[in-house]
Amino acid sequence: MNVQLRDRPQAAASTGIKTAIADCDIHPARATNDELHPFLAKRWHAHLETFGVHPYQGMMGGPPYPKAQPNASRRDAYPPEGGPQGSSLSFMQKQLLDPNNVALGVLNPLNTGQGIRNQDLAAAICSAINDWQIEKWTSKDSRLKGSVVVANEDGVSAAAEIRRRAGDKNFVQVLLLSRNVEPLGQRRYWPIYEAAQEAGLPVGVHAFGFGGNPITASGWPSYYIEEMVGHSQCQQSALASLVLEGVFARFPKLKMVMVEAGFGWAPSLAWRLDKVFSKLHAEVPHLKRKPSEYIRDHIWWTTQPMEDPESRDHLFQVIEWIGWDKLLFATDYPHWDYDEPSRVLPAGVSDANRQAFYLDNAKQLYGIG
Amino acid sequence: MARHVIAPVDELPPGSRKFLEIDGRPIAIFNVKGEFFGLLNRCPHQGAALCEGPLIGLASSSDPGEIEYTKLGEILRCPWHGWEFDIRTGQSYCDPRRFRVRAYPVNVEPGTNLVKGPYVAETIKVAVESDYVVVEL
Amino acid sequence: MTSPIAGGVDCDLHPAVPHLTSLLPYMSDYWRDQVTTRGMTDLVSQSYPTNSPISARPDWRPAQGKPGSSLADLQRQALDPFGTAYGICNPLYGVQMVFSEDMANAFCRALNDWLVKEWLDKDDRLRGSIVIPAQSIEKAVAEIERCAADKRFVQVLMLVMGDMPLGKRHYWPIYAAAERLGLPIGIHAGSAYHNPPTSVGWGSYHIEDYVAQAQAFQTQLTSLIVEGVFARHPNLKMVMLESGFTWLPPFLWRLHKFWRGVRMETPWVDRAPLEIVRSNIRFSLQPVDAPPEGDTLNRLFDHMQSDELILFSTDYPHWQFDGDEVLPNGLSTDLVRKIMIDNPHATYPRLTVKETTP
């Protein structure tokens, strides 16, 4: 009898890649909110129960643009022991880390104190999330590294949290989101960049977030797909702000990672910045170099959701314009728009570029042996 | 082509699905309102376990804001990227346009104005014989 | 450089209103008194500060007055040098910034009548765009219908940053009127400043606002496509003016990818976004946000997968190029003809209609 019956399929096996890879965008989740309680002062337990997190949006819970899948996550990523997708280390190991030979996994917690209005609460939750990353994830699996989340609207408290975590090998970057109260180049955020540079930590800027601004410059659109596509426009404007405010001129050792916002738009944005800068540079005399040069030297890009043109030549040309040394492979596990490692990069890439894309760029940027 | 007896019919009531492997190939058998369907449990896009997705209907529209919802329970939505496949034919909706060189058979279904893509999930013949569900593979 | 050919259509010219008081002769008694009694100021938009380098090429900047305010200058600097057969006037006077729909309507009517009398009547080559008070759909449609009787109006003009995303059904009566009357909708760079000029808030600098136009065009294109504007109005053309276009291919890759996953949310989008762009969307040539090497630009045209999308423009008097290098390097003769002549004529059916006001 060669027929096997079973209640549910095993985790999808990876079909191709067996060489080690880095996954630079993994989203760990809490099985329940109580998981944070050990790391959160008592006063906040009751506060959260009574008032919620009070974010820069209307919904008490959940997103106003409903996602494409529950929790915006793969339906096959629910852990067998229960809880939402991404909340079980053992299942993450079994479904993502082991079969894909992930040597370095960068954790980007999203449901944190970022994008909420009460800055004391924001700081408390962020600090708790950072403790939780160590306790639940990085101390249990050395392949995983955390991101320091900070109360993004309060530069002083954010900088203090970064300094508290500086030198802690559990963390490899500081994490911000693209959508904030103001564009990310604004001075209220500079203490974050100063502390990150001092700590030698790159700053990841992940798509999403809430800052109260409509997700288009013409107000709120109707559909989830507009929010999804719109994140890349938010990222473009956030990056333009970082460049034009002179963040990279002021913090010359700062490295930033554009996470989950695409990279195909980078050449066009850089060309546009350069072209306009050639005529309007008098307005921004604090810039010492062309905008494209700041981008080339200071910015890395995670790959997911992978650019997906009909012609692979178009993809390769765009990557050549950006630089093979600047891309960091990411799956976005367990989210629904997950990129499968073995299916992402078309044939026709040199071994050296493939190695850089999947592993070496990340190891070098994040300082992992 | 070998025939494999999968299960007694009453073990697969309407609305249920069964996952199995035959000669190492992951398969799922569905009972949709008394009709049986078999599919290879692998999405032709990025290889997800396709048959873990929900069975929904097919939304189409002849005028913005007006939605016709047909084929209820017959559209399998991939648990990863949400691509939709007709459980009867394996036909995907939307037009991926890539991989055109791969010549998948495309069945033209009347009654829809959607563009169909070359993606087709592999279907498997399922029969009921003497109250047993039988797969030909 | 690539040489222009004679007989082209310049799809983006900006005649400037010298001052709000220049429109007084075209206003009703009430509005004329409102303007003067209340001391209303000139409606110059922050999108184009008069003295900003991008607002006028140095050698096109007049000794006095606003760039683009003199017909003789426009003829000498924009129409004659490129052998232009038709030039489409897109006034950027800041009537969209006001919040009252009544005031906006009065100013739009005055602006459109001013364009006819001061420009279209004075040079046969010139064509106009109808500026509308988008604050009120009824008034906007009425203004379109009023102006469309004059066949020299070839387009309806809107700004890329307004109160709501342009695909919203609220705006559809405007699109229905435009389609019925053979008028494309031109969407031009610029903001009514009713929302922050970026989707992440207010930046500090003018340069930031200008860079952000490209992102605004991207979000509007998403809105127009996914709301189903072109499913309802398949014959409607929209022209992205002064938008840049090198962002288009990666934008479409992303939109296409997500559309495949959430198609069920907007099932009236029954064609790939690229197909919709090919049939309904066009882009003006300037600015060309690409390096000067012809090789890169030709690759970008290859990424766009169509030679029918781009329409010739100088963006006069804005500073997008120097000398006569209006066409980027390395374009083939065939592509030049398409950009300068074939594509604009295929987009603007009213261009060659000779009759004027009845």
Q: What pLDDT shows up at residue A7?
A: 45
Q: Which residues pair with A205 in a beta bridge?
A: A176, A258
Can you give the CATH number for the domain in which C188 is found? 3.20.20.140
B52: contact with A, CB 8 A cutoff = yes
pLDDT tens column, A321-356? 999 999 999 999 999 999 999 999 999 999 999 999
Q: Note the ipTM here.
A: 0.96
Decide: residue C93, CB within 10 A, 0-12 exposed, 13-18 middle, 19+ buried. Answer: buried
| Confidence category of residue C357, pLDDT binned at 50, 70, 90 | very low
Q: Is C230 in CB contact (< 8 Å) with chain B?
A: no
What contacts A169, CB < 8 A, 6 or more positions away?
none
CB contact (8 A) between residue A236 and residue C214: yes
Calculate the alpha carbon distances from C26 to A92, C119, C145, C297 in Å.
70, 14, 18, 45
Beta bridge partners of B120: B91
* pLDDT per position as a tens digit, C55-73: 999 999 999 999 999 999 9
Taking every pair of Cα atoms in chain A, the longest distance, rounded to a whole number of angstroms, is: 79
pLDDT beyond 80 at A2: no
What's the CA gap between C241 and C64, in Å, rounded? 27
Q: C6 vs A10, which has greater pLDDT?
A: C6
The architecture of the domain spanning A21-366 is: Alpha-Beta Barrel (3.20)
A188 pLDDT above the threshold of 50:
yes
**Inter-chain CB proximity C207 and A284 less than 8 Å:** yes
Q: How many C-beta atoms lie closer than 10 Å to residue C169's C-beta?
A: 14
Residue C269 neighbours by CB under 8 Å, 6+ apart: C225, C226, C228, C231, C259, C263, C276
Q: Is A73 in contact with A85 (CB distance < 8 Å)? A: yes
Give me the DSSP letters along C77-120. Answer: IIITTTT-SEEEE----SGGG-S-HHHHHHHHHHHHHHHHHHTG
**Do B5 and B22 fall within a single domain?**
yes
Q: Is the pLDDT of residue B96 over 60?
A: no
Q: Which of B63, B66, B84 sits opposite C263 (nearest CB)?
A: B84
Q: For B97-119, b where at least 16 C-beta lie within 10 A, e where not — what string?
A: bbeeeeebeeeeeeebebebbbb
Residue A43, Cβ neighbours under 10 Å: how many? 11
Considering only the beta carbons, identify the residue of A68, A222, A244 that sits closest to C168: A222
Lowest mean pLDDT among B2-16, B61-75, C16-30: B2-16
Number of domains in chain C: 1
Minimum-distance CB partner of C200 among A179, A244, A265: A179
CATH number, domain of B32, equals: 2.20.25.680
Same domain, B70 and B111: yes
Do residues C242 and C188 lie in contact, with contact meaning Cβ atoms separated by under 8 Å? yes
Mean pLDDT of A306-314: 93
- Per-residue model confidence as pLDDT tens digits over C258-280: 999 999 999 999 999 999 999 99
**CB atoms < 10 A from the CB of B16, how many?**
11
- Of C214, C255, C299, which has the smallest distance from its Cβ to A229's Cβ? C255
Percent of the residues in chain C that have a pLDDT greater than 70, as a whole number: 98
Mean pLDDT value of segment A348-369: 96
- Give chain B positions within 8 Å (CB) of A74: 48, 79-80
Q: What is the pLDDT of residue B117?
A: 56
Cβ–Cβ below 8 Å for C226 and A264: no
- The pTM is what? 0.94
- Grouping H, G, I as helix, E, B as strand and the rest as coil, residue A171 is strand
Q: Rounded distance, CA A275 to CA A292, Å?
A: 10
Task: Please check the confidence at residue A170 and state whether its pLDDT lies above 60.
Answer: yes
Q: Find the range with the poorest average confidence among A7-11, A102-106, A176-180.
A: A7-11
Average pLDDT across chain B, whole number: 79
Distance from CA of B81 to the nearest CA of A (A): 5
Enclosing domain of residue C212 = 9-347
pLDDT bracket for residue C292 (50, 70, 90): confident
On chain B, the residues whose CB falls within 8 A of the CB of C261 are 81-83
Asked whether the beta carbons of residue A222 and residue C167 sit closer than 8 angstroms, the reply is yes
B109 within some domain? yes
Domain-located, residue C176:
yes
- Tens digit of each residue's pLDDT (9 = 90 or more) over A5-21: 444 444 444 444 479 99
Residues 178-197 of C with CB under 8 A from A: 191, 194-197
Residue C123 included in any domain: yes
Q: What is the pLDDT of residue A160?
A: 98
Residue B69 and residue B109 in one domain: yes
> Do B17 and B72 fall into the same domain?
no
Same domain, B86 and B32: no
Structure tokens at C171: 């705006």
CA distances from C246 to A215, A318, C158, C211 (A): 22, 12, 21, 13
| Closest residue in chain B to residue C267, using alpha carbons only | B60
Q: Is C234 exposed, middle or buried (0-12, 13-18, 19+ CB in 10 A)?
A: exposed
- Closest-CA distance of chain A to residue B120, Å: 17
**Closest to A3 (Cβ–Cβ): which among B4, B53, B82?**
B4
Q: Which of C232, C262, C264 sits opposite B64 (nearest CB)?
A: C232
Chain A, chain B: beta-carbon pairs less than 8 Å apart: 66
The closest of C356, C156, C151, C351 to C241, measured between CA atoms, is C156
Percentage of residues in chain B having pLDDT higher than 90:
35
pLDDT-derived band of residue B116, with 50, 70 and 90 as boundaries?
Answer: low
Total domains in chain B come to: 2
Average pLDDT over residues A72-91: 97
What is the residue range of B95's domain? 53-119
Domain presence at residue C3: no
Contacts of residue C210 in chain A, CB cutoff 8 Å? 276, 280
Element (H, E) at A301: strand A299-302
In this structure, are B67 and B107 located in the same domain?
A: yes
The pLDDT-based confidence of C354 (bands split at 50, 70, 90) is low
Both B2 and B57 in one domain: the answer is no
| DSSP secondary structure code for residue A335 in this structure | B
Shortest alpha-carbon distance between residue C262 and chain B (Å): 7
Whether residue A147 is predicted with pLDDT greater than 90 in this model: the reply is yes
B107 pLDDT band (50/70/90 cuts)?
A: very low
Residues B98 and B135 in one domain: no
Whether B73 and B111 share a structural domain: yes
Cβ–Cβ < 8 Å for B87, B74: yes
Subunit contact C262:A68, Cβ cutoff 8 A:
yes
The C-alpha of B126 sits at a distance from chain C's nearest C-alpha, in angstroms, of 29
Q: Lowest-confidence range among A164-168, A289-293, B105-109, C162-166? A: B105-109
- Give the A window 179-238 contacts with C, CB below 8 Å: 179-186, 211, 213-226, 228-230, 232-234, 236-238
Most confident of A190-199, B41-50, B115-124, C265-274: A190-199
- Comparing alpha-carbon positions, the chain C residue that sits nearest to B97 is C272
Chain C CB contacts of A238 below 8 Å: 200
The DSSP annotation for B64-114 comes to TTEEEEEEEEEEEE-TTT--EEETTT-EEES---TTTTS----PPPTT--P
